[in-house]
Amino acid sequence: MEVLKTHAVYGGTLRYLRHDSAVTGTPMTLSVYVPPGEGPFPVLIWLSGLTCTEDNFTSKAGAYASAGEHGLIIVAPDTSPRGEGVADDPAYDLGQGAGFYIDATQTPWAKHFRMETYVVEELIALIDVEFPTTGTRAISGHSMGGHGALTLALRHPELVRSVSAFAPISSPTRCPWGEKAFTAYLGEDRAEWAKHDAALLIEAGTARGHFGDILIDQGDADPFLVEQLKPELLTAAGEAAGQAIRLRMQPGYDHSYFFMASFIADHVAFHAERLKL
Amino acid sequence: MEVLKTHAVYGGTLRYLRHDSAVTGTPMTLSVYVPPGEGPFPVLIWLSGLTCTEDNFTSKAGAYASAGEHGLIIVAPDTSPRGEGVADDPAYDLGQGAGFYIDATQTPWAKHFRMETYVVEELIALIDVEFPTTGTRAISGHSMGGHGALTLALRHPELVRSVSAFAPISSPTRCPWGEKAFTAYLGEDRAEWAKHDAALLIEAGTARGHFGDILIDQGDADPFLVEQLKPELLTAAGEAAGQAIRLRMQPGYDHSYFFMASFIADHVAFHAERLKL
């Protein structure tokens, strides 16, 4: 991994990194915060939302104070492969910056857009090789990245001990962002879509019993709440399937990093508690 | 004041604002965080560094957790007048984004670049009218804004109860950034320059006895430390003049917002303690 920048932050070390991904076939960028001390440390994977790179969370979420306090590594990858030879779309919600944490099967996306395999195989293994980890991890994310955190955790429960999300796309098969992206990346077969829909995965009992509870924060002034995010589909699925979903509706909060910064310490503490069991 | 954006943050309300400034003759932008509760609240004025707008501090410093806890309003103005009719220079360290918190006397800068009067007269008064303030305030800032915080506090001690800075330009008459800006804005007369040099103002005893102590954080891995910032000139001046300067050299920290985010809570607490006396 090539170190692009290093900063001291809250007693720890933050690095912006780049590596050549065998999975996406492109260079991939990420940030890694390592808390003070010798370690080993558990890892929190953070998945960002539409249009973000690794920098939005890194510079705006204010997560490293609590990560330093609790002794967590935080890994924040970019949201898609990028570059001149990589397929793209003029819209902000498809293509570069909008990888949706799935492996695309359709032309022209299938060549590089393999974010699920990138995160759950390549990235996780690379972090365990390059940093002093305990090999235990949690996952969280925002919006499209909340969808990513939930679906990757539910599809690969052996990889993470806990999962949370901020304003996740709760059921991409039932909202415009998800319908558009899944059509482009996965084609018309809705049975394939269902495998990457958090509410449907919970209903199906995919990871039943693995996660004691799942923490979700959602601002009630979020402009995407009703049309795109639909957390009520998550809680309904949780009730139907016996999966505890702790949905906190936060009055007055929107979809911005100011919302996440306000509650990120709760999520870091939530994961730290479960990672240290 | 026109409200451009509003966000709930840490239980309080953050607004991005714009108003027509009679002092600069331009629209000026700023952010204002108001903590939860009815108030009235004391005010911390934050002055940013070269190239910044009001947004850098607002989105990256992570100051609002502690401001909410201590009950402080934080006001972060832009670093200069801006716009098509406003003088500028291609360099990053002169003109728009580089107001240096002084009133320029030289052509073409004198027309709009009046940041000292803007902050100490217009901005402070406007905040007291528009927000529930106690009328008491503190000031802090970073780099060029650290110079601004120190010099405005020392030149107008009646306006602020406490002052701190991150990596301030300690003596602009003795560093390239300051020499360039002061030559352009104030002309060749170094007696005029000395009125806006924190180390020289402390040596001259301008605000003697007003500030019990002044808190300075400085990263020892800051690439601008030796050539531009020179905190040793501040501490020497403080020793000579009997002004307590609490300089904390922070090992490994650089000049970025990651440095400030790591210690901003200490500065907010420092000011809160002095503002509530």
Segment B148-206, tens digit of pLDDT: 999 999 999 999 999 999 999 999 999 999 999 999 999 999 999 999 999 999 999 99
Alpha carbon distance B109, B62 (integer Å): 33
Beta-bridge mates of residue B142: B166
Dig out the tokens for B61 from the structure: 């410093």
Q: What is the greatest pairwise CA distance in chain A? A: 50
Contact B57, B48 (CB under 8 A): yes
Nearest by CB to residue A10, choosing from B7, B14, B262, is: B262
- A142 an active-site residue? no
Contacts of B169 by beta carbon, 8 Å cutoff, 6+ apart: B143, B144, B146, B147, B175, B177, B178, B198, B228, B229
* The pLDDT value given to residue B277: 65
Location of structure tokens 């050539």: B227
Output the pTM of the full model: 0.96
- A143 an active-site residue? yes
- B213 an active-site residue? no
What pLDDT, in 10s, does the model give residues A147-171? 999 999 999 999 999 999 999 999 9
Alpha carbon distance B272, B265 (integer Å): 10
Mutate to test the interface with A, among B52, B258, B259, B268 (most CBs of A within 10 A): B258
Nearest by CB to residue A256, choosing from B7, B219, B250, is: B7
Alpha carbon distance B118, B54 (integer Å): 15
What pLDDT, in 10s, does the model give residues B218-259? 999 999 999 999 999 999 999 999 999 999 999 999 999 999
User: In the predicted model, is pLDDT for residue B276 greater than 80?
Assistant: yes
pLDDT band at A276 (very low <50, low <70, confident <90, very high): confident
Task: For residue A104, count CB atoms less than 10 angstroms from its CB and return exposed for 0-12, middle for 13-18, buried for 19 or more.
Answer: buried
Confirm whether the ipTM is greater than 0.85: yes
Number of A/B CB contacts below 8 angstroms equals 69
Task: Please list every residue in chain A whose beta carbon sits closer than 8 Å to the beta carbon of residue B59.
Answer: 59-60, 257-258
Dig out the tokens for B77 from the structure: 């103005």
Task: For residue B121, count CB atoms less than 10 angstroms from its CB and return exposed for 0-12, middle for 13-18, buried for 19 or more.
Answer: middle
In terms of CA atoms, which chain B residue is nearest residue A6? B254
Alpha carbon distance A149, A144 (integer Å): 9
